[in-house]
Amino acid sequence: MTTKKETPKLATGIGKVSNAIASVYGTLAKSGNIVTQVCKTCATVFKGRPATKAELAHVAESVARLQGWSDKSAGPRKSEVRKIVRNYGAMPEAVELVRAKTEVFSWHDAMRLATQLNNAEFNTRQAVSAFFTHKPAKQSAIKQLEAALKRAMSIDSQSAKIVGAQDAILAMCDKLGIDCGYE
């Protein structure tokens, strides 16, 4: 006598969840394709000529408005937008050169590559070489501590625990001569 194994009942449409997650993983792994699509759009609009400063500013402002970025986060993000538009001609070739050597190409990789392409001394191949050889300088421990203390001191709260912790941080910083960003 064989017993039939019961299969658990799954929610209707559960395959959509799997497909969505797989799509996200696939998109993230191939973010270089997203960047090159943006570059293709730039190429159709600018027709091979460099974007002017006014055009760069307009695109960055428009993207910030469309995305609803806060003033605090808009600065670095608009810089990323300008980097991509500024380098739309060289970026697709550079992305392909990088992807030939790596399996994954993230958005952060695209921004690092665009930074190297911004260097006027580099052609595309030199920028790709610099992408692989350039390691960002590590912050010293004291700089990391200062940054953490500045973040802790910028918490706006009436809570006695947070205010007490901030007073203790301020006293410690004063004793050690560290600038915690709070007077």
> For 71-127, how does the pLDDT look when each residue is reduced to its tens digit (9 = 90+)?
888 888 888 888 988 999 999 999 989 988 887 778 888 888 999 998 878 899 999
CA atoms within 13 A on the CB side of 17: 5
Dihedral sign (CA 136, 73, 36, 58): negative
When mean pLDDT is compared across 42-56, 145-159, 160-174, the lowest value belongs to 145-159
Dihedral sign (CA 79, 81, 86, 89): positive
Domain coordinates in residue numbering, the chain: 16-133, 141-176
17/31 Cα distance (integer angstroms): 21
90/112 Cα distance (integer angstroms): 14
pLDDT for res 177: 78
Q: Express as a percent the part of the chain with pLDDT over 90.
A: 9
Mean pLDDT of all residues belonging to the chain: 80
DSSP per-residue string spanning 105-126: B-HHHHHHHHHHHH-TT--HHH
